[in-house]
Copies of this chain bind each other. A is one copy, B any other.
Amino acid sequence: MRIAHVAPLYERVPPRLYGGTERVVSHLVEEQVRRGWDVTLFASGDSRTGASLVAPVPRALRLDVGAVDQLAPHVVELSQVFDRAGDFDLVHCHVDYLAFPFSRLVATPTVHTLHGRLDLPHTRAVLGHFDDVPLVSISDAQRRPVQDIALTWAGTVHHGLPLDAYPVGAGRGGYLAFLGRISPEKRPDLAIRAARRAGLPLRIAAKVDAVDRAYFEEEIEPLLADPLVEYLGEIGDAEKPAFLGEAAALLFPIDWPEPFGLVMIEALACGTPVIARRCGSVPEVISPGRTGFIADTVDDLTQAIRRLDRIDRAACRREAEVRFSVTRMADGYESVYERLEAGAELA
């Protein structure tokens, strides 16, 4: 099986720090390499992979201060892929609608995993135009905003992790964890309020994008004065397992239709339960009372924190092993590829 993966160029594969899509691409690519497939990865030149790397740019765009135009490198990347589409049995794209037109112009079967939200106005128009292009959703919930459009869904494949890289922690650090990005739709303010009310320390490991700088300074920084709250900045892969594994729970009080929420399964893999709000994929990922709690208000979140002793950390890890391993994700994509190739042969 000769397969090309087309990754976004914003972060290297895998990312050094934050970066969900590029991390998932890395997990999938390395598992396919392990299975002996002939994998070509199109990604930034600082990526680390066992696949053949083709690099449209030497460095990931987010860390390259000279990269003013972020679209042009992606256009070059798509040309590099589709000029030689015949070299591959299948092309697997992770760059959103930008690659859709090429699906129709080459004979090689092409599939697109949608990593983003689908509830924005332009998304409906663009998906509607490409209703014959094979798509993979990363949760069933992700499809909901466009469920009235007849699209060509090739499947839902939940993200999966290489579980060896996420050792189970004891959860004895005596703190709650918030991990990811400081932005209004992630509701770090709710996490802080619930932790304070429960009287437990909260450790925040998160990046602040330029677009969220004002929100951070006006809404969140004043809340950091509380001695219960500690802001660590952005952390790397090496620190993440200990950060998650020693936490009593991950707080994930989001306020947007999260298409998957990779950090939830990272927490489960480390044996750490998740307390989340009922948005997007959350009910698909978390089983209330078994691997965490789903709560809405600060009151509910606080109640959930107080009931954490009812959760068995071993059950959280087991859930990750059964439902969210990289093996299971790669099997899921293998089924998708088989259906696409069968379809291409029929056509």
User: Residues of A at under 8 Å CB distance from B?
Assistant: 57, 66-69, 71-73, 75-76, 78-80, 82-83, 97-98, 100-102, 104-106, 120-123, 125-126, 129-130
- Least CB separation from A126: chain B residue: B72
Q: Is the CB of A76 within 8 A of B126?
A: yes
Q: Is the CB of B79 within 8 A of A100?
A: yes
Q: Is the CB of A67 within 8 A of B104?
A: no
- Least CB separation from A56: chain B residue: B129
Query: Nearest Cβ in chain B — how far from A291, in angstroms?
Result: 35
Query: Nearest Cβ in chain B — how far from A274, in angstroms?
Result: 31
- Least CB separation from A69: chain B residue: B122
Q: Is the CB of A68 within 8 A of B104?
A: no
Q: Is the CB of B82 within 8 A of A120?
A: no
Q: Is the CB of A78 within 8 A of B105?
A: no
Residues on B with beta carbons closer than 8 Å to the beta carbon of A66: 121
In Å, the complex CA distance between A126 and B68 comes to 13
Residues on B with beta carbons closer than 8 Å to the beta carbon of A82: 101, 105
Residues on B with beta carbons closer than 8 Å to the beta carbon of A83: 101, 104-105
Residues on B with beta carbons closer than 8 Å to the beta carbon of A72: 97, 122-123, 125-126
Q: Is the CB of B79 within 8 A of A101?
A: yes
Residues on B with beta carbons closer than 8 Å to the beta carbon of A78: 101
Residues on B with beta carbons closer than 8 Å to the beta carbon of A100: 75, 79
Query: Nearest Cβ in chain B — how far from A160, in angstroms?
Result: 29
Residues on B with beta carbons closer than 8 Å to the beta carbon of A75: 97-98, 100-101, 126
A interface SS class: helix
Residues on B with beta carbons closer than 8 Å to the beta carbon of A125: 57, 72-73, 76
Query: Nearest Cβ in chain B — how far from A173, in angstroms?
Result: 41
The 7 A-B residue pairs with the shortest CB-CB distance in the complex, in nearest-first order? A69-B122, A79-B101, A72-B122, A72-B126, A76-B129, A105-B105, A78-B101
In Å, the complex CA distance between A80 and B100 comes to 12
In Å, the complex CA distance between A78 and B83 comes to 17
Q: Is the CB of A68 within 8 A of B120?
A: yes
In Å, the complex CA distance between A98 and B120 comes to 22
Q: Is the CB of B79 within 8 A of A122?
A: no
Residues on B with beta carbons closer than 8 Å to the beta carbon of A120: 68-69
Known: A72-B126, A73-B126. 10 other contacts (CB 8 A): A69-B120, A72-B97, A72-B125, A75-B100, A75-B101, A75-B126, A79-B100, A79-B104, A82-B101, A102-B105
Residues on B with beta carbons closer than 8 Å to the beta carbon of A121: 66, 68
In Å, the complex CA distance between A101 and B69 comes to 17
Query: Nearest Cβ in chain B — how far from A134, in angstroms?
Result: 15
6 A–B contact pairs at CB < 8 A? A69-B122, A75-B97, A75-B98, A76-B125, A79-B130, A101-B102
- Least CB separation from A101: chain B residue: B79
Residues on B with beta carbons closer than 8 Å to the beta carbon of A57: 125
In Å, the complex CA distance between A73 and B126 comes to 7
Query: Nearest Cβ in chain B — how far from A332, in angstroms?
Result: 27
In Å, the complex CA distance between A101 and B81 comes to 10
**Most B-side CB within 10 Å, residue of A78, A104, A125:** A125
Query: Nearest Cβ in chain B — how far from A318, in angstroms?
Result: 41
Query: Nearest Cβ in chain B — how far from A147, in angstroms?
Result: 20
In Å, the complex CA distance between A69 and B79 comes to 22
Do A73 and B104 contact each other (CB < 8 Å), given the known contacts A79-B130, A129-B79?
A: no
